């Protein structure tokens, strides 16, 4: 890395990584993540990190402008990462109950996974606390494209490929390629 490149890195990346580390109010459990870009860990629950979990990617959009946000919102909430996971820039992972991401997953930018609607759907209950939630499980060796959203109650089988801009509203078996809004099976692998 030449001198000018090092200065740019420390001014525009490393200082932001340190800033979001300082702002984080959740002490993660397990291995230390690889922070290529800023990530904020928040909430009262547990965030478990396996070995070799990377947040951010240099040669990708949103590298200088965005950060990743992980929140285990309640005391019983858990977010569990397996091993050897790469998550591109600007992910949003929020759990009231439980979100699990298996080993060897590759996840594109602007990824979002939520295990709740974070409010009741009935108009008279929208301000009530404790909205319904349903755990999310992403299997091993899953490839997730850019701008994908996975909603509550979804289970993704091993070796699944999820196409760009998909909204995953239901569970899918292993060895499938899914895409669309709502996501559907395109083919099997």
Local confidence band at 8 (pLDDT 50, 70, 90 cut-offs): confident
In 3D space, the residue among 106, 10, 94 whose CA is nearest the CA of residue 52 turns out to be 106
Q: What is the DSSP letter of 96?
A: S
When mean pLDDT is compared across 10-24, 65-79, 83-97, 134-148, the lowest value belongs to: 10-24
pTM for this predicted structure: 0.94
**Distant-in-sequence contacts of 90-93, Cβ < 8 A, 24+ apart:** 90/62, 90/66, 91/55, 92/68, 93/68, 93/69
Residues of the chain with pLDDT > 90, as a percent, come to 79
Q: Is the pLDDT of residue 1 over 80?
A: no
Q: Which three-class secondary structure state does DSSP give residue 125?
A: helix
Within 10 Å of residue 125's Cβ, how many Cβ atoms?
A: 12
Active-site amino acid positions: 119
Q: What is the largest CA-CA distance in the chain?
A: 60
């Amino acid at each position: 890395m030449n001198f000018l490149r090092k200065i740019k890195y420390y001014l525009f990346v490393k200082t932001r990584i340190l800033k979001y580390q300082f702002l984080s109010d959740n002490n993660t459990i397990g291995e230390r993540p690889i922070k290529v870009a800023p990530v904020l860990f928040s909430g009262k629950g547990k965030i478990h990190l396996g070995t070799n979990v990377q947040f951010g990617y240099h040669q990708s959009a949103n590298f200088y402008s965005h950060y990743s946000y992980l929140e285990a919102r309640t005391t019983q909430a858990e977010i569990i990462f397996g091993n050897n996971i790469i998550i591109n820039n600007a992910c949003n992972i929020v759990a009231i109950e439980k979100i699990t991401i298996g080993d060897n997953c590759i996840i594109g930018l602007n990824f979002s996974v939520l295990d709740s609607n974070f409010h009741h759907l009935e108009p008279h209950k929208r301000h009530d606390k404790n909205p319904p939630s349903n755990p999310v499980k992403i299997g091993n060796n899953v490839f997730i494209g850019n701008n994908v959203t996975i909603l509550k109650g979804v289970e993704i089988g091993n070796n699944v490929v999820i196409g760009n801009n998909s909204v995953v509203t239901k569970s899918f078996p292993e060895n499938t390629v899914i895409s669309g809004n709502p996501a559907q099976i395109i083919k099997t692998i």
